[in-house]
Structure 1
Amino acid sequence: MDVMLLGTGAADGWPNPFCGCASCQDAARRGDIRGQTAALIDDVLMLDCGPEAPRAAVRFGRTLADVRHILLTHAHTDHLGAQALLFRSWVDVGHVVEVVGPADALDACRPWAGPDDPVRFVPVQAGDTLTVGGYAVRVLPARHQVFREGDAVLYDLTGPDGSRILWACDTGPLPPEWFDAVRDARFDAVFLEETFGDRSDLGSGHHGLPEFFDTVSALRGCGAATETTEVVAVHLGHHNPPITRLRERLRECGARPGTDGEVVRVGDKAEQAHRTLVLGGVRSGKSRHAEELLASYRAVTYVATGGTRAGDAEWAQRVALHRERRPESWSTVETSDVSAVLRAATDPLLIDCLGTWLTARMDLHDVWNGGDMGAVDADITELLDAWQRCPVPVVAVSNEVGSGVVPGSASGRLFRDTLGRLNASVAAVSETVTLVVAGIPLTLR
């Protein structure tokens, strides 16, 4: 399954647009604006459809034209923007859409669908099982309600390829007997809400961090989650600590926060590793941002392409600072043979950076003294092939050199031009491309 997160925020998103707390200020400064939680599965099935979800899909380069099924968890308006059915009725897409959910949620939808609209409503309650297109669906109880007990549900979803996910949003802490229904499920991915952060006093209908940890532990204890299950926190709100700290906290239980627009691939599609290119100028914060992207993984291989520089104290200090802020569980490899590392990787990779890698390859082939530039081009081709075939998540950092002054030497201009072409080539075969400017990450793709 291909799970695109259309949003990962709570009802008020994150940051709350009316709030000036430290957590909201941090998110706004980063440009990390999270919409209301929803997901798009294989471009044909939606999990919840709040008012922000349809526009988010377009913003992330997807269309909802092929959506045939919408699974609603409950009738709260951040999960149910029923006006989307009206917008859909204005376009002839040539097929019926099934809207599945608790009866109260469907009742909220009915006024938005005309008698002749190609919409079919399928009421469900906890304990039901059904087939939706090529997906097997089990409806699970949620500890959450809108009007009455039982009017909110969770979904256990198995795809056509046999991959299986748990969509657990919204719910508070679940009773021990709930876990019997998912015993030995061995989910490929769990999307679990985590709304209240350290505020456990705000109600029982959502998870805070302590409750999230307990639920993840219970899922692992009953075999619903295993060592290979990807546990993703969604429905995140501003009661949480700033995102860098939240990543550290969630890593304690083997989980990570979701990100708006990310694609989580499970089952057969899990083999398609996600490739991210992070660009930025000198001291822009690009390396720190790249490290944050992988902060939820316990084991990461940091590929340092700059090597060592004997007698250069300033360079040694830079390297030491980088090492100090990386988790102790990460390992470091110093090499310019990045292609070999990409092909052999078993843990996620962080490559820092392509600029120093290119310098090393140009040095190797003595380009500065009239050596073989063709050999460098061959190295780039090999790198691109290995990048595309890499079997694990990988993030590469590179210098953005297109905005600087024209170098005063022929060798400088050759390096700038070659790195510019390398960046463009890597970007073309990456799922995500981010430009970091003054510490602020800007999503290009």
Structure 2
Amino acid sequence: MRIRFLGTAGHAGWPAPQCTCASCNRALAERRLPLRVTVDDRFRIREGAVVGPVPPGYSVTVTADGVLVVGPDGGRLLYARSAPGPQPAPPPVEAAAAGNGSAYASSPPDQQVDMVIVDAAQRPEVIGELRRSGVVGVTTAVVAVGGDHRVRSPQEFARRARLWGALAPSDGAEMSCPPAVWPESRPHGPHRTLITGGARSGKSTEAELRLLAEPRVVYAATGAVPDPDRDPEWARRVELHRNRRPWWWRTEQTIELAEVLKRTRGAVLVDCLGTWLAAVMDENGMWDDDPPEDAEEMVEGRIHGLLEAWRTTQAYVVAVTNEVGSGVVPATRAGRIFRDHLGLLNQWVGAESEEVVLAAAGRVTELP
């Protein structure tokens, strides 16, 4: 089958009519029409429906995942549904786990498709859901469409597509199904990314965005377990974080990060190294005015254990950390000790990472 993309943007196009937002202004140089996809120039498909009669030799089926088109040559194209379907309850938060990540249900080979079209501005996590179920396999070409002013710029949309192992075609692009061209390979384990930045800089959002297309994700939460009675504000923060993550991500509430990195396959998101270090220092009495004699040695041992696990992990790991050295010297002893230790930890983890990213004002910069 020959798939032609006459338009690749959201329903209003990009830039949207009469819109003067920054995203639409940046899209003026490469205008994109509303999404329109044709098959062999004989009929159109869109989410949930085929436009026009289906020619002989083609099979069209509406599935739970979207519209499946099978061509005369056996090519299998899925136009993925962007509206969320029924979802099971999220996996429970675990204090410790012996498994290797969230459950990964493989579909029979006859369910795998050759190409999938996904509205990646609406629900990019669909890619992860389809990989998790086995509908999208290693030989499936993922095509990301639907970009509009929900995304900062066409360049940002293309960057996200690369992170998800997807192609982001321009208007007029033509592809074959089964594909002749595949996207660049997305990161696979072992691969380490460190994301640093100040408070509310967009660090966690960028970390989560990078892993939306992964079929298995362990979210290693290093903050305190929320207690709604003692600290309702913290509990609300944690709940908001949890609700925005895909339902199949499994959360582990732990500071045993070295163990998580050693045993996990798939993807791991660590949020964050700053709260991990604070907990380790507290565990060893370093906040005390008169800390134990071996406190420094114990903390250094935990740090070196984490670094060794980070260096040897087989997972695709994205870790968030805090940039605490850009302000004035802390006024307290505890603040100075924490800043020094976290600054060094960030340097050491960064030195052992394939990628280090700085987040500021919701934007990210790759640090060479």
Q: Could you say which structure has the higher helix fraction?
A: 1
Deviation for aligned residue 1:237: 7.7
Correspondence for 1:103: none
Deviation for aligned residue 1:321: 0.9
Q: TM-score normalized by structure 1?
A: 0.47
Deviation for aligned residue 1:238: 4.3
Q: Which aligned pairs between 1:42-191 and structure 2 lie closer than 5 A?
A: 175-177=71-73, 179=75
Change (3 A) 1:284 1:361: same
Change (3 A) 1:239 1:361: closer
1:413 equivalenced with 2:336 (yes/no): yes
- Distance of 1:375 and 1:256 partners within structure 2: 41
Correspondence for 1:289: 206
SS of the aligned residue for 1:434 comes to strand
Correspondence for 2:352: 429
Residues 143 and 174, structure 1, Cα contact 8 Å, conserved in 2? no
Residues 117 and 144, structure 2, Cα contact 8 Å, conserved in 1? yes
- Distance of 1:319 and 1:230 partners within structure 2: 37
- Distance of 1:365 and 1:419 partners within structure 2: 16
Correspondence for 1:326: 245
Correspondence for 1:257: 166
Identity value in percent: 36
Deviation for aligned residue 1:368: 2.0
Q: Which aligned pairs between 1:296-311 and structure 2 lie closer than 5 A?
A: 296-308=213-225, 310=227, 311=230
5+ residue gaps, structure 1: 1-9, 36-141, 145-172, 181-185, 199-208, 218-224
Q: 1:60-90, CA deviations, whole angstroms, 9 ceiling, x for partnerless residues?
A: xxxxxxxxxxxxxxxxxxxxxxxxxxxxxxx
Residues 24 and 238, structure 1, Cα contact 8 Å, conserved in 2? no
Deviation for aligned residue 1:175: 4.2
Q: 1:276-320, CA deviations, whole angstroms, 9 ceiling, x for partnerless residues?
A: 111111111211111111111243111110122541222111111
Match of 2:272 among 353, 365, 374: 353
Correspondence for 2:316: 393
Residues 279 and 398, structure 1, Cα contact 8 Å, conserved in 2? yes
Deviation beyond 3 Å, 4+ runs, structure 1: 19-29, 173-176, 190-195, 225-228, 230-244, 255-259
- Distance of 1:389 and 1:383 partners within structure 2: 10
Q: Which aligned pairs between 1:377-392 and structure 2 lie closer than 5 A?
A: 377-392=300-315
Match of 2:255 among 336, 361, 364: 336
Residues 193 and 236, structure 1, Cα contact 8 Å, conserved in 2? no
Q: TM-score normalized by structure 2?
A: 0.56
Change (3 A) 1:382 1:405: same
RMSD: 4.7
Correspondence for 2:55: none
